[in-house]
Structure 1
Amino acid sequence: MDDTLRRKIQTLLDQHRTMRIATLRADGWPQVTTVGYANEGFTIYFLCGPDSQKAQNISRDERVSLAIDDDPAQVMEITGLSMAARAVAVTDPAEAEKAITLVMARYPEQKAIGLPMPKPSEVRLIRLTPTVISLLDYSRGFGHTDLVTC
């Protein structure tokens, strides 16, 4: 991956804090939900309920897809990324603390209103490791994408 693409992907990951993630239900149908996230480089962390449908889906099949973008006023300003990734529950206590700290730092207004930092035992922490990233940039032409294998 060249440095220009790496910087564009990193910028998109860093400037957003929500994504749509698709997991596979037991019946084989995809389920898409919006979640908050934080990243460290290209590694993405998010939290969900320990008994949530997402957590159950990921425990059966670690393959996920996600999309990160915004809703610009002009079509030709659309930028974003989609990613195929492997989802793994974080079980290491040190990594769990790091993931929670990263996510809470992405949402400082939660601390300002007194929302306590969740304990690792209260949530399911998920680490996403990309396998393929598709960078969408309409400024380079309608529907222009650059595909990156990780």
Structure 2
Amino acid sequence: MKEHVKEKILSLLDQHRIMSIATLRSDGWPQATTVGYVSDGLTLYFLCGPQSQKAANLARDDRVSLTIDHDTPDLMAITGLSMAAHAQVVTDRAEAEKVLRMLPLKYPDVHALPLPMPSPDEVRIFRVRPTVISVLDYTQGFGHTDLYTCDSPSLFQS
């Protein structure tokens, strides 16, 4: 992946705070939900309840599809990301604590409210690493997308 493409993707990841993520239910149907996320390079992280449907789905099959975008009144200003990825539970305590420290930084307005952050033992934290990234950019034409594969582990280092 060329450096300018990676920078464009990282910029879109930094501009947004929520993503829609689809997992596969036990009956084979996809389940899409909206979650907050943080990113470290091209690696994304999200939290969910240990007993949630997402956690159960991902315990069976770690494949996910996700989108990151925003609403805009101008159809030709649509930009965003779509990814095929694998999501694994973060089991390393230091990595989990790092993610929990990153989350409030993505939501600076929350600092004014005394919201307690969960401990790593109270939530499931998933590390999401894309295998394919589609960059959607209607400013280059209706429906314009560029497709990239993520075949190098060095892409995930920040």
Q: TM-score, normalised by structure 2?
A: 0.92
Other-structure match for 1:34: 34
CA contact (8 A) 1:43 1:129 kept: yes
- Structure 2 distance, partners of 1:9, 1:70, is 14
Correspondence 1:40-51 to 2 at 5 A = 40-51=40-51
The one-character-per-residue Cα deviations of 1:106-145 (angstroms, maximum 9, x if unpaired) are 1233332101121000110000001000000011111111
Equivalence for 1:14: 14
Residue 72 (structure 1) shift: 1.1
For structure 1, the 5+ residue unaligned runs are none
CA distance in 2 between counterparts of 1:15 and 1:8 reads 11
CA RMSD of aligned residues (A): 0.8
Aligned to 1:67: 67
Across the two proteins, how many residue pairs are aligned to each other? Answer: 150
Q: Counterpart of 1:128 in 2: which secondary structure?
A: strand
Amino acid of the structure 2 residue aligned with 1:51? Q
Residue 103 of structure 1 corresponds to 103
The offset of 1:104, in angstroms, is 2.2
| Cα distance in 2, alignment partners of residues 124 and 5 from structure 1 | 31
- For residue 6 of structure 1, report the CA deviation from its aligned partner: 1.1
State the Cα deviation string for residues 6-55 of structure 1 (Å, max 9, x = none).
Answer: 11101000110000000000000000000000000110011100000001
Distance 1:27 1:3 in 2: 40
Structure 2 CA distance, aligned partners of 1:47 and 1:110? 17
Q: Distance in 1 between matches of 2:51 and 2:111?
A: 25
Unaligned runs of 5+ in 2: 151-158
More displaced 10-residue stretch of structure 1: 111-120 or 85-94? 111-120
Whichever residue aligns with residue 59 of structure 1, its letter is A
1:76 and 1:142 in contact (8 A); partners too: yes
Secondary structure of 1:35's counterpart equals: strand
Q: Distance in 2 between matches of 1:3 and 1:119?
A: 36
Identity among equivalent positions (%) equals 63
Structure 1 counterpart SS, 2:51: coil
Runs of 4+ in structure 1 deviating by more than 6 angstroms, as ranges, are: none
Matched, 1:92 2:98: no
Distance across 1 between alignment mates of 2:42 and 2:21: 15
Distance in structure 1 (CA, Å) of the matches to 2:129 and 2:136: 19
